[in-house]
Structure 1
Amino acid sequence: MSPDLASLLLLAPLALYSLHALWRLIASDSLPAAFAFVGGYFICAVLFRLTLPSLAVVPIWLPFLFPYAWTGIAALLLASGTLRLGRKGISLDGVPPLLSAYALSQLCLHLGLMALSTVLAGRPLQAYAMLPPLVAASGYLLYRLCLWLSQQNQGWLSWPGVIITAVAAPLCLGWAVELLVPVLLRYL
């Protein structure tokens, strides 16, 4: 496989992930969500600048290489003002259902990665840092799962749904790392 084609195949999930997030944001027409996504970008840029101070343009392009970090911070900012907890589960108050499912999936992804990374010997966090296309693809699949679960429960993500999505993300990432990294190293 040519290096150009391999690079395009690896960058495609990241571009599609970013475009899907922006599409959800624009279609929602939610001002708090827009502020959360802009704030998430700037927080991500500052964190990357503090991490890699010797590279001048890192704050500009690195959030696009790790779009799931950007959307995770944005989802946390959005949830800090709109999260509702109840007997039925969790939901985001005043946020349209599709964007709400997207933000909740990002929260569950990051919650699961932080909670289960020590149990899984750090493999999910290694995938988070080293395999952005894989994390982007699994983040989209997690969004689809959260959307289906929240539609079953009238916009609420039930507590079993939160647990399932938070546990599924690190397990799938750890399993995919074990399976896909040798294949990628052999053929790309």
Structure 2
Amino acid sequence: MTATLGGWLLILLLLAYLLHILWRQIAARSPVAIASFIAAYFVLAAFFRLSEPYTPLRPVWLPFVYSYSWLAIAAALWLPASACPTRRGLLLPAESPRIAALLVSQLCFTLGSLLTAPALEWRPMAAYVMLPPLMAVLSYLLYRVFLFSLQRSKDGILSWRLLLIGTIAAPIASMWLGGWIAPILLGWT
């Protein structure tokens, strides 16, 4: 089996996304975010190990492919220690806007995919699992929207409305784009 140029480009896209995540973690210098990120790797690796116990190396490398899931688990571990819910939204006082936007966006993206999947015939979850390059692009776009909102906010608050819109719009976009772009990606690889 040989990889095509399109396949290599998709792999490079996933690698660039992972390097961006690592750079955000290092640049933030947040001990809670880094500890959550490391712990999330082991949680995701254990999940992959339990789901397929007969493939010994798959749990080691598969979290790198699904780095958006890895980051969502890290965000779930990080959120209780770093965020405060208020009436206006989610207050993130202790963290830099970049790491806060990255973690919250990935948590919203993953929760939205999980929660809307039954109502949308599991198509958002199918795209979430089967199209990691597309999910990396959509995750990055959602991160940029959340970062823009956090940088405009004087208080460091992400509004509930933006969080709800991001949680619902991301899986719908992944479902729609997944159905449209999957045949194109299959032709590339």
- Is TM > 0.5 for Structure 1 vs Structure 2? yes
For 1:186 and 1:19, the matched residues in 2 are separated by 27
Please tell me whether the aligned partners of residues 91 and 100 of structure 1 are also in contact (alpha carbons under 8 angstroms): no
Please tell me whether the aligned partners of residues 79 and 92 of structure 1 are also in contact (alpha carbons under 8 angstroms): no
Q: Please report the TM-score for the alignment, with normalisation by the length of structure 2.
A: 0.93
2:131 is equivalent to residue 168 of structure 1: no
For 2:136 and 2:91, the matched residues in 1 are separated by 23
Please tell me whether the aligned partners of residues 36 and 78 of structure 1 are also in contact (alpha carbons under 8 angstroms): yes
Aligned to 1:97: 97
The CA deviation at 1:187 is 4.6
2:48 is equivalent to residue 48 of structure 1: yes
- Mark the CA change 1:34 to 1:106 in structure 2 (over 3 Å): closer, same or farther: same
The CA deviation at 1:10 is 1.3
For 1:126 and 1:62, the matched residues in 2 are separated by 17
- Mark the CA change 1:34 to 1:64 in structure 2 (over 3 Å): closer, same or farther: same
For 1:95 and 1:162, the matched residues in 2 are separated by 18
Residues 83-135 of structure 1: per-residue CA shift (max 9 Å, x gap): 21002201334121110011110111012112211121111100111111111
Letter in 2 for 1:122: W
Please tell me whether the aligned partners of residues 89 and 156 of structure 1 are also in contact (alpha carbons under 8 angstroms): yes
Aligned to 1:179: 180
Aligned to 1:159: 160
| Partner SS for 1:157 | strand
Please tell me whether the aligned partners of residues 109 and 139 of structure 2 are also in contact (alpha carbons under 8 angstroms): yes
For 1:78 and 1:72, the matched residues in 2 are separated by 10
Unpaired runs of at least 5, structure 2 = none
Letter in 2 for 1:87: R
Please tell me whether the aligned partners of residues 116 and 168 of structure 2 are also in contact (alpha carbons under 8 angstroms): yes
Please tell me whether the aligned partners of residues 6 and 188 of structure 2 are also in contact (alpha carbons under 8 angstroms): no
The CA deviation at 1:150 is 1.8
For 1:30 and 1:174, the matched residues in 2 are separated by 33
Aligned length: 187
Could you list the runs of 4 or more consecutive aligned residues of structure 1 that deviate by over 6 angstroms after TM superposition?
none
Letter in 2 for 1:5: L
Aligned to 1:31: 31
Unpaired runs of at least 5, structure 1 = none
Aligned to 2:117: 117
The CA deviation at 1:60 is 1.3
Residues 65-91 of structure 1: per-residue CA shift (max 9 Å, x gap): 110111010011000222210022013
For 1:129 and 1:122, the matched residues in 2 are separated by 11
| Partner SS for 2:91 | strand
Matched-pair identity in %: 40
Aligned to 1:107: 107
